Structure 1
Amino acid sequence: MKIAVVAANGRVAQKVVKEAQERGFEVTAFARGEENKSGAAKFVKKDIMDLSKEDLLGFDAVVDGFGAWKDEDQPMHIKTSQHLCDILSGTDTRLLIVGGAGSLYVNAEHTAQVKDDPNFPAMFLPLANAQGQELEELRKRDDVKWTFISPAGDFQADGECTGKYILAGEELTLNSKGESIISYADYAIAMVDEIEKGNHIKKRISVVRE
């Protein structure tokens, strides 16, 4: 398969690149920085908002690894993913978004989300709200084969790669130990599995470590 990883110098994106290449995928990394930190064999220096339809032509899938931490930059989550939707509109290229856990539901009625809990860390609320809005905008797109993948609540950059995970849906799911946890490495495995299988088009899924 031929995939593009956008905002590829990010830490989650780097794990996705590594996993995809180990499976024999042809990976092209796009990032705005001069240095290729992604580990991809092919690298293109280009900001996500400068990407065109021609840049992403011929890829089976595009992984959006964009992430922002400053409050003032949070609207870019929506702008960047919608830009990718616009240039992939009407094509067979799938778009996979590195999502967040804050918008996962905590009840069967889907009226309460993780981020609504009074104990949710205030410092992460702007990010959770932005990625929640990003998902809602994606839900309006019938012209793009998107998939939004939410990690578990405890998303560990340097966590263990177990090679095992539980695939879940819209609701926060705990493992057999009552934990909501996953490493970047295991998340990347789940992401690349979804790229290979394409079972959740126009859906949000979530993953947690077994």
Structure 2
Amino acid sequence: MKKIAVVAANGRVANKVITEALNRGFEVTGFGRNDNNTKAQKYIKKDIFDLTADDLKGFDAVVDAFGVWAPEDMPQHSTTLKHLCDILSGTDTRLVVVGGAGSLYVNKEHTIQVQDTPDFPDAFKPVANGMGKALNELRDRDDVKWTYISPAGDFQADGERTGKYILAGEELTLNDRGESIISYADYAIALIDEIEKGNHIQQRISVVRA
């Protein structure tokens, strides 16, 4: 039985991940700074910056579902991820990061990202920049077994759970209908699949609805 921890466990993506993991027989511990709003078997109320190596010891994987939206909070994408990397450094515990789509590339040369394109909404640029910066810093960590999973461009909180997805890489990928879309529920399937049988260590991958 896999034993996982979900950090920032009260968020909507985190709750889908927890539900998917429980349905597959995983043992799930949630960590969050607010009162428990999850289905995890165990919940520890603790701020992410207060987590220690002992808190995360013995887990097969730690899922980082942290996210902020206010422009002034954007540096926390980097600082929280660095903290998790530091306390997992040198261990066999995988760190699986719920990422963003803005940093996916739209050309084969990997010089233009989604967030650089003319149609990218200004309102999402601070988040895309903040998460993209954290990803770039994560790429420098060779002491942690990390995997960064970007969703499709249209990431739907209440979208259908189809049970099908396309696993892709660093480039924005469209399905056969020309869509870049995935629900939180299908994203959670892909994330748990990666923990269960994937081996994309120190890689960024992405998922889109099939």
| TM norm structure 1 | 0.99
Q: In the alignment, what sits opposite 1:151?
A: 151
Structure 1: gaps of 5 or more residues = none
Amino acid paired to 1:27? V
d(CA) in 1 for partners of 2:39, 2:10: 9
Identity %: 73
d(CA) in 1 for partners of 2:119, 2:196: 37
Q: CA deviation at 1:37?
A: 1.0
d(CA) in 1 for partners of 2:19, 2:37: 11
Q: CA deviation at 1:39?
A: 1.3
Q: In the alignment, what sits opposite 2:43?
A: 43
Q: In the alignment, what sits opposite 1:190?
A: 190
d(CA) in 1 for partners of 2:79, 2:185: 27
- Equivalent runs, 1:70-149 vs 2, <5 Å: 70-149=70-149
- Equivalent runs, 1:155-174 vs 2, <5 Å: 155-174=155-174
Q: CA deviation at 1:91?
A: 0.1
Q: In the alignment, what sits opposite 2:203?
A: 203
Q: CA deviation at 1:103?
A: 0.2
Q: In the alignment, what sits opposite 1:16?
A: 17
d(CA) in 2 for partners of 1:197, 1:74: 32
Q: CA deviation at 1:198?
A: 3.2
Q: In the alignment, what sits opposite 1:6?
A: 7
Amino acid paired to 1:14? N
Q: In the alignment, what sits opposite 2:33?
A: 32
- Superposed CA deviations along residues 49-106 of structure 1, whole A, max 9, x for unmatched, are 1100000000000000001010011110111111000000000000000000000000
Q: In the alignment, what sits opposite 2:56?
A: 56
Q: CA deviation at 1:126?
A: 0.4
Alignment partner of 1:44: what SS?
A: strand
d(CA) in 1 for partners of 2:37, 2:198: 27
d(CA) in 2 for partners of 1:209, 1:198: 18
Q: 4+ runs of 1 displaced by more than 3 Å?
A: none
Alignment partner of 1:17: what SS?
A: helix
Aligned length: 209
d(CA) in 2 for partners of 1:173, 1:56: 34
Alignment partner of 2:206: what SS?
A: strand
Q: In the alignment, what sits opposite 1:181?
A: 181
d(CA) in 2 for partners of 1:92, 1:73: 30
Q: CA deviation at 1:41?
A: 1.3
Structure 2: gaps of 5 or more residues = none
RMSD: 0.5
d(CA) in 1 for partners of 2:3, 2:41: 12
